[in-house]
Structure 1
Amino acid sequence: MGPFANRFAGRRAVITGGASGLGKAVADRIVAEGGQVALWDLKPEALEEAAAEVGAAFTFAVDVSDQASVAQAAKASLNALGRIDILVNSAGITGATAPVHEFPVDSWDQVININLNGAFYCCREVVPFMLAGGYGRIVNVSSVAGKEGNPNASAYSASKAGVIGLTKSLGKELATKGVIANALTPATFESPILAQLPQSQVDYMRSKIPMGRLGEVHESAAMVCFMASEECSFTTASTFDTSGGRTTF
């Protein structure tokens, strides 16, 4: 399915984890549909390559787990774009694959710092700009793991559950301000993040999906773009699933 012509005309978006995977796919669609995008990612070389591929206007090397780095990038993005209408928090890692009683503490801390604290920092720094403009769309990428919990992935599951809770609180806070915040809860889809997991873990997650396959990145990107658009106008503090039937609540 092709892009919706000019759905994002005049809109300005910040996308974290924008150098690959879902973040990059969303950036590609927003640009194709008339918007301007600033990509945030940890790797400058990958950022430049992704920006050239999708036509992003600006790139910023950002460690989302570092509040000072996020604050600096948010101000720089506002100056570069003129305003920020859309924030897509897509940066994330999986962490170790181990039971709770053997889970490495350093991996736990890293996953929480990137996946949950990172989403909090980005929302904290960007929301004031949206409030000033009276408009905003925030999409926090969570996971079905945040609803159901995956065994041997406690840090990831806990961080993504936290993202859902953060989004519900944020959406209610902003409900009368013109700023909408929702979370996406995809099942596993084909993306570079899978390289961080053993095949046995990927096979387990596939086995839980009634459609019997992993998702494709364009399927989640399509949902994110609806969530980031003006059409998403009466749903906030909620979750949208792209899970092949795994989660139904």
Structure 2
Amino acid sequence: MLVDSHCHLDLIDPSLDRVEALLAQAAAVGVGHFLCVSVSLGNAPVVRALAARYPQVSASVGVHPNQVGDDEPDVARLAGLAADPLIVAVGETGLDYHYGAEHITLQQARLRTHVRAAREVGKPLIVHMREATDDTLRILAEERAQEVGGVMHCFTEDWPTAQRALELGFHISFSGIVTFKTAEPIREAARRVPAERLLVETDAPYLAPVPHRGKQNQPAYVRQVADCVAGLRGVEPSLLDAQVSRNFFALFPLARKDQAGLRAASR
């Protein structure tokens, strides 16, 4: 089985018919679990509802660094939401200076809030990092994010940066960008990340991999990401599938629990 460790099912299409079709298409290529990631307090209930309905879907709660004008959470509120047994992680959080440089102070304060909430509930972090490497890793270290760990999602940096994140106890997740032959620093990192700290994702509906580049991404396309990473590492795709699935459930242990009764009560 393969896991899509980061997708946004509700941003592709929140209708149940479409979600069920996406999950079925992914299952047909061996993808059996999905982490649907929250980007705002506004979409967090939808993400949670998907996890309540589908046992193969897990959920997070968090506010994306580029989300401006959303209801801003404090530590107590975010921790309260994250304490829900259906929530397996805190995020998506992080820093993005490419699109949000005018909100640096807000982003940094929000990242600290997420790390503190994650530590309070003992759940891992999902971290977005774009053109903000030093500040992101510095704040994670200052706030003791290593106590809960997490994942550097959609990793777009080089191997030395991956090493710094690994030293903080984080996993490294590769998206469709790793399939782009022009992305050699990312591909080099994918070759060198320790097997036990490796994840793959789609970030759907964004960043579709080759040969789907330019189309709307979907969870089934994590197959192309995983096969590319397997090729870069010189391992059989089936072995990589099994490794990244083990890694996912080790990092997000609540995702593996049978919560059928809780799901039924939550609908």
Please report the TM-score for the alignment, with normalisation by the length of structure 2: 0.37
Please report the TM-score for the alignment, with normalisation by the length of structure 1: 0.39
Q: Which has the higher contact order (CA 8 A, sep 6+)?
A: 2
